[in-house]
């Protein structure tokens, strides 16, 4: 069963470091999970993920239920066998797809019916079905099925979705216990909803805590709200979550998002940002963001980032990377993705060290200066 211990507390904020122990090893927090939606972090070998500093990955319940199907994944050795990954894995529940594929989705009290993105056939997700799928996938952490509302500022819609999330969580907990996943070492995290409304966020925390789960997540952020609304949601929920349990902010972020959330007590993150930006040839560096398609880098023989030891930075110049990106060679997007993943993991490592040393404000100021510098020339 999953265990969590706090190892250091920042003297300037609610930031803390911790150790999350799972059936597939321990990881240090705050941590960032690269996203392997369909059972792979797109274009990145497991060895390269490990070299980047990644220690825990995320995969997607809905997409894997469509192809190849959770029964097939289970026969292939679970997600660890499918992904060639020996470390911890977390699966989201499909709740985000209820939001992102809302034009293909009908929600009712029992669950949600989506249209398959593979062949258009109806796909029925209920709390019980989602827990059955995740049991077969075999992650270390399974997420409860939640209803992420389409508009975080629509109080009536948010209220109805949040109440439904609470009822679905109770059903997820029963199914998780009944199907034996807990005994097999699979932890269940509940999800806090509530949109942009502090009172609904607080009520959602109270409802989730009734189940005394191994961990809790804050959902329904990064769904179109502005930055202050996202921070307000975290500020409303995070202080009410138990200090002894890991706190996971879903679908966030960027370097400054990490710092904002960590200072409010968040321990875990996932986001497609480093790989999606990498495939679009946008690099995060210690001096700001770099658009590698820009003509300014055509003849540049310098490294992409002097502070980085990834393959992109040690074996290629900016000019060479620009050529790969501009000519449509897949290696360009792969290298920039590897660099971005390495940058994110190095940042999280620096944050953990700064928390332990009591120097997080200094690190934050340095990151803010760098991220204001977009090297587009």
Residue tagged active-site, from 48, 146, 270, 305: 270
Catalytic site residue 243? no
Whether the Cβ atoms of residue 64 and residue 137 lie closer than 8 Å to each other: yes
Q: CA-to-CA distance for 16 and 22, rounded, in angstroms?
A: 19
**CA 258 from centroid of its chain's CA atoms:** 11
Residue 77, CA atoms < 13 Å, CB-side half-sphere: 8
**Which helix H or strand E contains 20, and what residues bound it?**
strand 16-22
223-228 long-range contacts, CB within 8 A, separation 24+: 223/99, 223/148, 223/150, 223/152, 223/251, 224/151, 224/152, 225/152, 225/153, 225/195, 225/196
Q: CA-to-CA distance for 28 and 349, rounded, in angstroms?
A: 9
Q: CA-to-CA distance for 257 and 255, rounded, in angstroms?
A: 5
Sign of torsion, CA 52 9 249 241?
A: positive
Nearest to 28 by CA among 9, 49, 54: 54
Residue tagged active-site, from 92, 146, 257, 305: 92
φ/ψ (deg, to 5) at 136: -70, -35
Q: Is 142 helix (H, G, I), strand (E, B) or coil?
A: strand
Q: CA-to-CA distance for 321 and 329, rounded, in angstroms?
A: 10
Catalytic site residue 119? no
Which residues are known catalytic residues?
A: 92, 270
């Amino acid at each position: 069963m999953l265990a969590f211990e706090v190892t250091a507390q920042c003297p300037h904020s609610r930031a803390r470091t911790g150790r999350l122990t799972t059936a597939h090893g321990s990881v240090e927090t705050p941590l960032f999970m690269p996203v392997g939606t369909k059972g792979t972090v797109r274009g990145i070998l497991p060895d390269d993920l490990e070299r980047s500093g990644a220690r825990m990955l995320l995969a997607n319940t809905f997409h894997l239920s469509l192809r190849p199907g959770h029964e097939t994944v289970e026969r292939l050795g679970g997600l660890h066998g499918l992904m060639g990954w020996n470390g911890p894995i977390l699966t989201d529940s499909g709740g985000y797809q209820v939001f992102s594929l809302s034009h293909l989705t009908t929600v009712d009290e029992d669950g949600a019916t989506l249209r398959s993105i593979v062949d258009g056939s109806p796909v029925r997700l209920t709390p019980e079905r989602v827990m059955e799928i995740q049991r077969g996938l075999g992650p270390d952490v399974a997420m409860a099925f939640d209803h992420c509302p389409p508009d975080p500022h629509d109080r009536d819609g948010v209220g109805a979705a949040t109440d439904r999330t609470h009822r679905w969580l109770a059903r997820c907990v029963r199914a998780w216990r009944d199907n034996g996943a807990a005994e097999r070492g699979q932890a269940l995290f509940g999800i806090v909803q509530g949109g942009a409304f502090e009172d609904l966020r607080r009520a959602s925390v109270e409802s989730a805590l009734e189940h005394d789960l191994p961990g809790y997540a804050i959902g329904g952020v990064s769904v179109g709200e502005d930055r202050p609304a996202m921070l307000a949601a975290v500020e409303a929920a995070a202080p009410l979550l138990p200090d002894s349990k890991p706190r996971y902010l879903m679908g966030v972020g960027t370097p400054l998002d990490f710092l904002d959330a960590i200072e409010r007590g968040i321990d875990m993150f996932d986001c497609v940002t480093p790989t999606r930006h990498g495939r679009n040839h946008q690099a995060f560096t210690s001096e700001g963001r770099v658009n590698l398609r820009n003509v300014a880098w055509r003849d540049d023989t310098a490294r992409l980032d002097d502070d980085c030891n990834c393959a992109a930075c040690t074996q290629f110049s900016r000019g060479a990377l620009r050529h790969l990106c501009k000519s449509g060679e897949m290696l360009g997007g792969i290298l920039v993705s590897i660099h971005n993943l390495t940058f994110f993991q190095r940042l999280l490592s620096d944050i953990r060290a700064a928390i332990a040393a009591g120097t997080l404000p200094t690190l934050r100021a340095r990151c803010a200066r760098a991220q204001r510098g977009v090297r587009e020339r």
